Amino acid sequence: MEHLLFKILFICFMDDFVYAYTLTNEQNLHTALLSGYNKDLRPGTDRTYPLQVNASFYLFSIKEFDLDTGKLTITGVFQVNWYDERLSWDLTTYNQTNSTSIPQQKLWLPDLINVNPYENIRGLGSDLIKVIVFYTGLCDWYALQAFEVICDADVTDFPFDTQYCTLKFFIWGYQPNEVNVNFISSGIILTLYTENGIWEIADSITHTQSNLYGYKEIVVGLHLKRRTAYYVVSLVLPITTIAGLMGFVFLVPHDSGERLGFSITVLLSIVVYLTIVQDMLPEASEPNISILGYILVSYVLSGAFVVVLVIISLRIQNCPSDKPVPQSIVQLVRCCRRRGKKKDTVEPINEKSGPVDDEESDEHVTWYEVGKWFDFVCFISLIIQLTLTCVTYFSIVLS
């Protein structure tokens, strides 16, 4: 017990001893370090070896991603550290002062320039940021900044799309054999990240690559996946439900007088809904237009085609009874009769007239019956077309 108490007192004493330096000690340290210091020369006593610079990227938030303009705005911080032997000192000389903060404009910095900016080319950091310098010469620089970069979006699978965006940086003014940058981690560090309501980070990557001229580029990559719940509920399901009503117009009795009005109402509903959701759809045409845009256009064309079919159906069912039905249509109706008739149906036998001939009973075909079979075929065709459209769309965007 006494031994443990001694250890605690010794640690507390050493802690007070380490941080016992005064303002005068730190002021003298700054004077000594910056006297004759040339920030235009890179660190490194032996110039035959490149300066090793280690980097990490912490993402704070995704502020904005405009698919129409290709503008991605994120907030993050680069942690960059390197050794500058000119900034090392002896602890005993300055009363155990083990670290100090120096404004970044007074020290040499690796000039990381963003080479894919949305507007202005700018480097990391600002005059408000300081560099933490340790007595070993280790410089630790936290460059906090809002980055605006160009990200060419592919909206083909909207709203089930994923995007890959990169931040590219280049150390300006140095040859590849003078400064070498390495990432400590293989991905973006998300310990300080605040979730975005529209995009989620599916994956991330940080690495260096050589460009066409042999210079190293520092790349921070983000795989962004859209959160689809809102778009499915407010966009995909409603428009699909409205489109599904188009086929049911052929189940409305033709003598009710509501068929044409029902079909036009469904068509107008699709057109009105299309104008409402137009702001949600991105306007980008490169590399491809959104498949959902083609789906909406196909629904509008189908609605217009349904109106034409309803008019044709009404014309068929209101044809004069004395007008003969063309033989080709008679044959089609007879074929539909045979397919619709159950195989196990037993026909009654008339004792006086003998067995009923199926062919004789099927000879008479009216325009009213032609219209009924026409409605049936249109209904089945539209339901199949809508089902195939939905299955094809989801199989493409979710594959």
Which residues, in sequence order, are bridge partners of residue 64? 73
What is the Cα–Cα distance from 310 to 332, expressed in whole angstroms? 20
Query: Model-level pTM greater than 0.85?
Result: no
Choose the weakest-confidence range: 260-264, 279-283, 373-377.
Answer: 279-283
What is the Cα–Cα distance from 318 to 368, expressed in whole angstroms? 7
Task: Give pLDDT tens digits for 7-38.
Answer: 433 334 434 444 567 889 999 999 999 999 99
Token code pair at residue 331: 């044959």
Residue-level pLDDT at 3: 44
In angstroms, the Cα distances linking 238 to 242, 263, 269 are 6, 17, 11
Residue-level pLDDT at 339: 66
Average pLDDT, rounded, for the chain? 83
122, 147 Cβ separation under 8 angstroms: no
Instruction: Provide φ and ψ at 175, rounded to 5°.
Output: -80, 160
CB atoms within 10 A of CB 270: 20
Structural domains of the chain in order of their starting residue, each with its CATH number = 36-227 (2.70.170.10), 230-334+357-397 (1.20.58.390)
Task: Give pLDDT tens digits for 187-230.
Answer: 999 999 999 999 999 999 999 888 777 778 899 999 999 999 98
Residue-level pLDDT at 19: 52
83, 141 Cβ separation under 8 angstroms: no
Tokens 């795989």 locate to 223
149, 22 Cβ separation under 8 angstroms: no
Token code pair at residue 376: 């049936």
145, 76 Cβ separation under 8 angstroms: yes
Helix (H, G, I), strand (E, B) or coil at 59: strand
- Beta strand 130-134 with 199-210 is unpaired
Q: What band does 121 get if pLDDT is binned at 50, 70 and 90?
A: confident
More confident residue, 100 or 258: 100
147, 74 Cβ separation under 8 angstroms: yes
**Own/partner pairs, 293-299, CB within 8 angstroms, 24+ separation:** 295/389, 295/393, 296/239, 296/270, 298/389, 299/239, 299/242, 299/243, 299/270
Choose the weakest-confidence range: 201-215, 311-325, 370-384.
Answer: 311-325
CB atoms within 10 A of CB 315: 11
What is the Cα–Cα distance from 200 to 225, expressed in whole angstroms? 5
For the chain, the straight-line distance linking the first and the last C-alpha, in angstroms and rounded, comes to: 66
Residue 225 is given by DSSP the state E
Choose the weakest-confidence range: 40-54, 161-175, 208-222, 348-362.
Answer: 348-362
Helix (H, G, I), strand (E, B) or coil at 28: helix
